[in-house]
Structure 1
Amino acid sequence: MKGLNTKERIRAYHDFCKKYGLDAKAFPHFYGLNSIAEGEQIAHWWRGQPNKPDAFACSTDYLAAGLLTEARRLGVSVPSDVAVVGFDNTEISHLLDLTTIHYPIDKQAENAFIMIRNTLEGMQEQLHPLAFKLVERATT
């Protein structure tokens, strides 16, 4: 929860909620979740809700993978009953045919190196722009 990526994802979430008049604090019990096991717990939570969300945008592919696989075990049809989107475009998203957000981690690593080198050597090398993209697969 303290990493720059996480902070930026949270900021983007709050910006989205503000733009569309949504309560960003409506589901505090979902903050900080990112494991497969926690995704499985979300599937059980979803199943027990009288007013079910139509979709989940998960903070990681692992959280989405747990949600997706447990939902299927519970007999939930994804994406007919609920859509699931991950984040990071890891190998698990490809294996599960999971819709995800591609995040250019290689360019982020290069930027980190450029920032360190700029600081240590007094350089002004420009950072690579980071382009995110939706990778549409079978869960949306």
Structure 2
Amino acid sequence: MVTISDVAKEAGVSLSTASRALNNSSLVSAEKKEKVLEAVKKLGYRPIRLSAVRKAQQDKIIVVITRMLNRDMLDAIRETADELGYQMAISYAGESCDGGYQSALELIKILPQHMIGGLIFIHNECRDEKIWKELSAYPMVQVGESKEVSPLRSISIDDRAAAYDMTSYLIKQGYRRIAYVRSDNDDRFSYGKPRLKGYCEALEDAGIEVDKSLILDAGYILDGGSDVAKDIVKMKNRPDVVFCGSDYMAVGCLAELERQGIRVPEDIAVCGFDNHEVTEYCQPSLTTVGQPYGEMGSEAVRMLDMICSGAIASGRKMLAEHTIIVREST
């Protein structure tokens, strides 16, 4: 059966754009609407009539389980959920070792079962088979962190390509001793290995030998960045630039370098990953890898909605476009 995903792929647009085009939304350009309609005609797609489904979905709740509070993403989820007739509940996982799945399960158990529309997990993976079995009874979408092979429909950036592009940018700027700071618990995050791979591949492609002494470990938090900066200051042969695996780590690193009398970027440059709000307001402002959090959040709700309506199935991974955002720290 032809699905809206097939239409989006044929037209060269995102799922949400295809959905909006079919609903004659003013947010979609005439050119893209035409492409979607041409794809519909070519593939013989027959849209599911969602009016009855929409009526049944009124007052259903999308439960969002997240370990990070990103305003752009959460606002986009709320706005899109409201647009599609859902309410939203948030379960904040923080740094819980189970990724917040246990707290999600507890929240779900206190909600009337007929009101649960589905689950959206942000940067979380479930490693507990018992909990997973209970949660898998509901439609689910994963945002931002996903295994290559996963039963969930997911949306994330290409972490390997993002790290490769940032490292390549740094090389083009003339940096050669590029330190990469990964999480001290990288096995917990599926994006850890792809990012390290992208960093190493960019160095190798530029003819720069990977120096293992410049691959450092720290927590993905402010204190983690501060700690790694203290270690860097003690090095006899310091790096030219420090590429941190998260913005909070990078801000902590930047602040500690400044405290130690190291000028950023004149003595050592610093860059991060994610483009959180803090990156624009620290001094100097932080160069970083941008993730389209608003787009990813909106897309996740639309994916979940289409799974609930039967328009698409679970189990496919969608890639969002990352950007290299250059600011004052490099």
Give CA deviations for 1:80-130 in whole Å, capped at 9, x if unaligned.
000000111101111111111111133334555527955983627x97652
Asked if residue 105 in structure 1 is aligned to residue 290 in structure 2, the reply is no
User: Cα–Cα, structure 1 residues 4 and 110, in superposed 2: closer, same or farther, change >3 Å?
Assistant: farther
- The alignment partner of 2:191 has SS state of helix
Q: Distance in 1 between matches of 2:236 and 2:323?
A: 33
Higher Cα radius of gyration: 2
Which residue is 1:132 aligned to? 322
State the one-letter code of the partner of 2:294: D
- Give unpaired runs (5+ residues) of structure 2: 1-185
- What RMSD, in angstroms, separates the aligned Cα atoms of the two structures? 3.0
Pairing 1:121–2:310 present: yes
Determine if the alignment matches structure 1 residue 22 to structure 2 residue 209.
Answer: yes
SS of the residue 1:123 aligns to: coil
Quote the residue 1:77 is aligned against.
Answer: 263
What does the per-residue CA deviation read over 1:8-37, in whole Å, with 9 as the maximum and x for residues that have no partner? 323322433443453374445x23531111
1:10 is aligned to 196
1:39 aligns with 225
TM-score by length of 1: 0.79
Classify the secondary structure of the residue corresponding to 1:84.
Answer: strand
Identity in percent: 25
Contact 2:269 2:329 in 1 (8 A): yes
**Hey, what's the Cα distance between the residues in 2 that align with 1:57 and 1:122?**
41
TM-score (norm 2): 0.37
Whole-Å separation in 2 of the counterparts to 1:7 and 1:117: 31
Q: Which amino acid aligns with 1:22?
A: E
What is the alpha-carbon distance in structure 1 between the residues aligned to residue 308 and residue 189 of structure 2? Answer: 20
- Structure richer in strand, relative to its length: 2
